[in-house]
Every structure is written in C-alpha cells, then in structure tokens.
Structure 1
Amino acid sequence: MERKQDSMRDDSHMDSEDSRYHLGFLRRTTQLLSRYGIETHGIVPVPAEERLETRWYQLFFVWFSSCMNLLTFSTGAAGPAFFSLGVRDSIAIIVIVDLVCCLLPGFFAIFGPKLGMRAMVQARFSWGYFGAIIPTILNVFSSEGFLILNCIIGGQTIASLSSQLDDTLGIVILAIVSLVITFCGYRVIHWYESVAWIPNVIAFIVMLAVGYPQLSENLSAPAPPATLANVMSFASFLTSNIIGWCPMIPDYGVYHSPDASSARIFIYTYLGFFVSNVTSQALGAAFAAAAPSVPAWNAGFDNSSSVGGLLHSCKVVSCRAS
C-alpha cells in the first residue's frame, strides 16, 4: 500500500514538473515573441497600464492605408460597371454615402482606447456570452468575403504584370504575404500601415496623370439617366464596404492611451476612412466609366471582371501613347 502511494506521489511530482516545464517554455516563448513586436495578447482586455501609445496619427493612417487600395477602387468602379451610372452620378453618390457612413467607424474607434477590449468581446455585454456567437459568426463570413475579394483583385493585378503569371498564382502570392503580416500583430501592423499607403497613392497619381486626357473626354460624354433602383443599389454597396469594418475597428486602438478625448479619436478615424474612400472610389468610378470608350482599357478591364487588368492597362497603354 505504501509503495503504491509512493508511486502515485512520484507520478504526481513528475506531472507537476512537466506542467511547470511546459508553462515555463510557453512563458519564455511568449516573452521572446513580444520582444520582437509579435502579438501575444488574446481577448483579455488590455490593462490601462499597458495602454501607453500616444501616437494618435496612427488611427488615421491605419484606416487611410486600409482603404486607399484596389479593393476600394473596385467598389467605386461598380457604379458605372454594374449599376449603369454615369461618372458624375457615381461620384455624387460616393461623396454623400461616405460623408454619412464614415461616422460609424469613427464612433466605434472610440471603444478601443477607452476600453482596451476587442470588439467581439464587447459584443458579449449586449448579446450575452453565448449570444455573441451570432455577430461573431457573421463577422467571420464578412471578413472572409473581404479577404477573398482582396486576394482576387490583388492576384489579378500581380498576374497582369507578366505573362508568366496567372490569376491563381497571384492570389497565392498575395495570400501568403498577407498571412505573414497578420502574425506580426498590433505594433507591426500600425508601423506597416503608416507607410503602406505611399505606393498606392503614387500608383493612383501616376494612373490619373497618364489617363487624364481620356478621363476628361469622358466627362462630357452623355450618360444614361440614373434610376432610383440603381442609385439605391450602388449606395447600399458603398455602405456595406464601410460599415463592414465596424466589428474590428476597436481592435486597432486597444494599446492606445485612454487619455485622448473621444473627439480626437473620432476625427482621426473619420478622416482616415473618408479621405481614402472618396478618393479611391471616385477614381474607380472615373476609370470604369471611361473604359468602354478606350479599347485598350476595356480589353484590360475584361468586361468589368478585372480591376487589376484595368489598372495595368491604363498605365502601360497610356504611357506608350505618350
């Protein structure tokens, strides 16, 4: 009996040592990863003493970079391409919708620094512990759709650069690069987003410069009258593009200091969304409306199915013509 008890004590001691070793290993690994800026914090609210970031301009650039891209460009292009709207009507709808809808992301951004809590955790206070599963699942589907569209459009753009690449390979390349960045976490993403807008803005400026003659000619071209159904459909499409960000917006401010005024957080976020969305979407609408009258652009656009091809053909063909 005593031998049996001693054996049980030895087994318990060994299990305790193994558990302590694994916990120590995990703790050391976590400390190592956090030292290099990798995100190690889970869904537990970030304590106030760790919310020390005071570079509030990051809340502008993280959303300016996120929306100053091809996906937002393609959202604006949908007006002429899919809803049969003229460029003037499309841009007017874009400005009005963005003015109103960007208020929501600005409001949701306040909760990040103030609570230090991820958005999906915040949902538990209004939906309940198990009820929060519903908006969480919906958010997963919404995010997956966003990622799929990003990969497709980005893959098309990469594929248009070389005949050796196809859309599938371009999608794989973009997906892998995006996956690597997501593992880096909060601080690295904020640093990345503070510079990621630069090549996108340069590309749009070049595209606008070389395509301006065709765009100016298209402005005077007659456009079909806008119907209420098309206007409402396009407005709804634009709205979904913006409010789809709301379930994740607080997550990008959980390490920022809660000392900032709510108005300051709101303004930075609102401007980040509004400036980037209006600019990208208006450019998309302008180029999509002009594409049918420019054969080379229309070929790159591939019957409104390849925004990446449109971007590439606009710059390459226009540069050759000049």
Structure 2
Amino acid sequence: MTDDFSESSSFYEKWFTQLNVESTGIEPIDDDEKTDPSLLNPTIVWFSANFVLSAYAIGALGPMVYGLNFGTSCLTVIFFNIIGCIPVGYFSVFGAKLGIRQMILSRYWMGNITGRFFSLINVIACVGWCVLNTICSAQLLNMVNSGTGHQLPLWAGCLVIICGTVIVSFFGYTAIHQFEKWSWIPNLAIFLVIIARLKLSGKWSNGDWTRGPTTAGNVLSFGCAVFGYSGAWATYASDYTVFMPRNTNSWKIAVVLSIGIYIPLCFVMMLGAACGMGGVNDPTWAKLYEKNSIGGLTYAVLVPDSVHGFGQFCCVVLALSTIANNLPNMYTVSLSVQALWSPLARIPRPCWTIAGNGAALAISILACYFFRSFLENFMNTIAYYGAIYIALGLCEHLVFRKSFRNYNIEDWKDNRKLPIGIAGTAAFIVAAFGVALGMCQTYWVGEIARRIGKDGGDIGFELGAAWGALTYVVIRPIELKYFGR
C-alpha cells in the first residue's frame, strides 16, 4: 500500500498535499522517508502529552479516592510509572528499526487475526481516553464564572476541546509535534501557580502514614490506575518513531523516550496528589471535587481570592492543556482503524482522524450528563489490556524472534506468512481470567483481589500480564512446530 489510496481518492490526495497534510497511513515507512533523526521530536511529543490536566487528575485519586497520604501516593506514582514507562520507550525502538506502526507490529506478535482484534480494542481505547480527558476539561471550564449565571455548559466545553484537537491532529505528525513543542510551557506556568496557591492556602499536609493489608490494597489499586495511564501509551509507541533512521541507537531511543514520559507524569501526578490532600483536609474543597471532580478541586485551589480573576484565567489555560493529550489518541486512532480491516485502509488517515474526533465529541457530551461513571469504569477495564499487550509483545520478541532481523517487513499484510495467532488468542483469554480474579473496581472485585485488606487490592494488570505471558511461552512453540509461523 502506498500513498496512492486509489484513483478515486486522487482529489483528496492533491488536497492533502496542498494543505501539507500527512497522507501516509499504515504502510511501512521506507528508508528514504526516514528523515527525522532528532530524538527530541518524539520526546517532546510524549513530554507535552503527559504534562496535562488528566495526569494531574490521576494523582488526586491517591488521597481523594484511595485514602493514601501524600508520601504514600508519591511513592506509588514513582514506582508504578517506572513499570508503565519502560515498555513505551522500548516499543518505540521498533518504529525506528522496522518503520512499522504499532498496530501493524501487533500482527507479528499475536498473529494476523488477533492483531486486528487488538486494533479494535485500541480504537475503543483511543476514543475512550479522549472522551475522559475532554470531560475533565469540560468540568473545569464549567467551574469558571461559578455563581454568575454565565458558566460554560459542559457540552460547550467538550466542543471547545474537540475542535482544538481536530484542527491539529488532522494535519498529522509534523503539526502535532509543532503544537506539542510549545504546549507544555503554559502548562508548567499554571502548575507552578497551583503549587504557590496550595502553599498559601494552608490546606496541604502530608497526612498520617498508615500500614497493614488495607493500605497495601489501596496502594495496589492506586498503582493500577497510575500504570493504566502510563502503560497505555505502549499501544501507540512506534507510531511516533517510524520516521527516525534505522541506524538510530536503540538504547538512546528507549532510555530518552522512557524518561521523556516518566518525568512529566511523576511531576504532575504528585502535584495532583498534593491538591488531593487539600481536598481531604478541607470540606469545601471535597464538596467541589464531589460535584465536578478534578475541575472542582482545581477551581478551589486557583480561584478564591485570586487577583482580578487570574485564577479563572489559569483554569481556562489548564483546561486547554487536554488538547496536547488528545492529539496522540486521535492520531493513533486513525492508524488503528486502518489496521483493523484492509478496506478501511483505503480511506485516507486524515478522514479517520475527523471521524474519531466526531465520535469522541458525541460520546463526551452524552457521558457528561448520563453515563460518566459507567464510562470511567469501562475505561478502567480497557486499561488492563495495555498490560496484556505489553506482556505478549515482549514474549514474542525477546523469547522467539530475539532480533529485529527476524521481522520481514514485506509480510505486514500477507496472511500466509504472519503468525496464525493461536498462542496470542489463547494467552489473551487466559489473561482475561487473571484480570477478572485480580481486579478491584466499584462494579467488580475479583476473588483474589477481595482478600487484600478491607477494601480489596487491584492486582488485575499484574495477574493478566503474568498469566498471559506464561500461556504464550507454552503454546507458541507448539504453534511454530506445527504451522511454522
């Protein structure tokens, strides 16, 4: 497959070229197209995408939902982000070495059919995360001008965020990079203001250190949320390094990109945990959090007694930061749709970007008013898929292929040469049972999870990854023996 999608699409192709829109889709990137040797470019994309309101909201869960003090929340953020960020950096190496998009790479790991199933899950995940991010920002925008009768409705807040997302993501990777290159700067300024305001408020405290099975269970559950946020990027990773030359040092890619994700996530999540402690200590802040989630809590920190509405201005800027996080979601969703079914790949990537943003807008508006809690629970479940994906991908590469030389790029759409997918399918099913036994959510607490402390402890992603990996390494040799692929 090339940029010439079909004769009938030549109009769109010419139009995209005139607008300087990236028209490449899921086809492998040739060496003559690998013209971006800078490690800074993908690093800054990941840095800015995680230096945002939604990561800050995850950090607040530690004190506000799981009852952890600030110190315990920070330690959980530090260690579980290590587990989540390293696979993202490692999978990024495949983009440079093979020039293959992440969901196409899945076909080499889990088999052609199973790989397409993972593409379907990734489409749902990309849109779902975009929706949740958008709702966070809509809630914050809704808090601006509280009590004046001139608040921005939740639906209008969703429209603002999605419109900003579609304008940038439509043009592709280059435009995304240019936006991400600078978007972290105003966000940093606002986060520094939050630190100052939190200090002046006197609401922050470290809280009491606790121990025992219940605390351990809450740490595991909060850690699952942290890992779910950072590890989920692994299913996007190679999409942002395919334009790097093949001779780029693999260690540099893995280390630099892992750090580029890890630093902003730790900083922003720990700041969210600090604000969460303010919510624990102040009933008014807690009530605002209950009313409008992270939007209400952020409003409580920034707005009261601010100078001439400066706090409200900060709320608006921070709400717009979500666009930086939505961009990778909407770029990757277009590639995942194309990887799902061959006829869909004939439709140019920018068209799928628009469709993905349209779906995210419709769902986010409905979710704001009708089923936000259901969507949050559903996306928590989807997050477990990232752990399974990482485990199966690492098993195939490290145990069976062992080298990038054992990937034939020309096989990327040849069903006769890609793995059958028996091992991948069996491993996924077994891993799902592990997740069910180990998860601890409001709608389901697994038999193993319920035994950890009074509130249960979420070890769903650990069990899912372990059971899936074990099943894969047992069945994959049998698949290779009888089918040879």
CA contact (8 A) 1:215 1:287 kept: no
Percent of aligned pairs with the same amino acid: 25
CA contact (8 A) 1:181 1:189 kept: yes
Residue correspondence of structure 1 range 156-305 to structure 2 within 5 A: 156-162=139-145, 163-214=150-201, 217-219=204-206, 221-222=207-208, 225=211, 227-302=215-290, 305=292
Instruction: Please tell me whether residue 155 in structure 1 is matched to residue 138 in structure 2.
Output: yes
From 47, 68, 77, the counterpart of 1:94: 77
User: 1:295 Cα shift?
Assistant: 4.7
Unaligned runs of 5+ in 1: 1-21
How far does the alpha carbon of each residue in 1:157-198 deviate from its partner, in whole angstroms, 9 at most, with x for none?
222223331222211221222122221101111111111111
The residue that corresponds to 1:62 in the other structure is 45
How far does the alpha carbon of each residue in 1:100-132 deviate from its partner, in whole angstroms, 9 at most, with x for none?
321111101111121111111111112222221
User: 1:31 Cα shift?
Assistant: 4.1
CA contact (8 A) 1:59 1:268 kept: no
User: 1:235 Cα shift?
Assistant: 0.9
Report the Cα distance in structure 1 between the residues aligned to 2:154 and 2:229, rounded to whole angstroms: 23
How far does the alpha carbon of each residue in 1:128-151 deviate from its partner, in whole angstroms, 9 at most, with x for none?
222212211221222222111111
User: 1:55 Cα shift?
Assistant: 2.2
CA contact (8 A) 1:106 1:269 kept: yes
CA contact (8 A) 2:83 2:227 kept: no
User: 1:32 Cα shift?
Assistant: 4.3
CA contact (8 A) 2:204 2:274 kept: no
The verdict on how the C-alpha distance between 1:247 and 1:180 changes in structure 2, with shifts beyond 3 A counting, is same
SS at match of 1:258: coil
The residue that corresponds to 1:319 in the other structure is 306
CA contact (8 A) 2:203 2:278 kept: no
RMSD of aligned alpha carbons: 2.3
From 113, 118, 129, the counterpart of 1:135: 118
How far does the alpha carbon of each residue in 1:223-252 deviate from its partner, in whole angstroms, 9 at most, with x for none?
655612111111111111111111111101
SS at match of 1:60: helix
Instruction: Please tell me whether residue 82 in structure 1 is matched to residue 65 in structure 2.
Output: yes
SS at match of 1:259: coil
User: 1:207 Cα shift?
Assistant: 0.9
Q: TM-score, normalised by structure 1?
A: 0.85
Report the Cα distance in structure 1 between the residues aligned to 2:156 and 2:108, rounded to whole angstroms: 43
- What residue identity is the alignment partner of 2:198? G
Q: Comparing 250-259 with 187-196, which one deviates more in the overlay?
A: 250-259
User: 1:298 Cα shift?
Assistant: 3.2
CA contact (8 A) 2:204 2:281 kept: no
CA contact (8 A) 1:37 1:185 kept: no
SS at match of 1:43: coil
CA contact (8 A) 1:37 1:188 kept: no
Instruction: Please tell me whether residue 49 in structure 1 is matched to residue 32 in structure 2.
Output: yes
Report the Cα distance in structure 1 between the residues aligned to 2:109 and 2:209, rounded to whole angstroms: 47
CA contact (8 A) 2:143 2:299 kept: yes
Q: Comparing 55-64 with 310-319, which one deviates more in the overlay?
A: 310-319
Instruction: Please tell me whether residue 112 in structure 1 is matched to residue 95 in structure 2.
Output: yes
Q: Comparing 265-274 with 224-233, which one deviates more in the overlay?
A: 224-233
How far does the alpha carbon of each residue in 1:53-84 deviate from its partner, in whole angstroms, 9 at most, with x for none?
12220121100111110110011111111111
1 or 2 for the larger relative contact order (CA 8 Å, sep ≥6)? 1
- What residue identity is the alignment partner of 1:316? V
Unaligned runs of 5+ in 2: 1-5, 312-485
Task: State the number of aligned residues.
Answer: 298
Report the Cα distance in structure 2 between the residues aligned to 1:294 and 1:127, rounded to whole angstroms: 50
User: 1:216 Cα shift?
Assistant: 7.3
Report the Cα distance in structure 2 between the residues aligned to 1:173 and 1:86, rounded to whole angstroms: 35
From 81, 100, 123, the counterpart of 2:106: 123
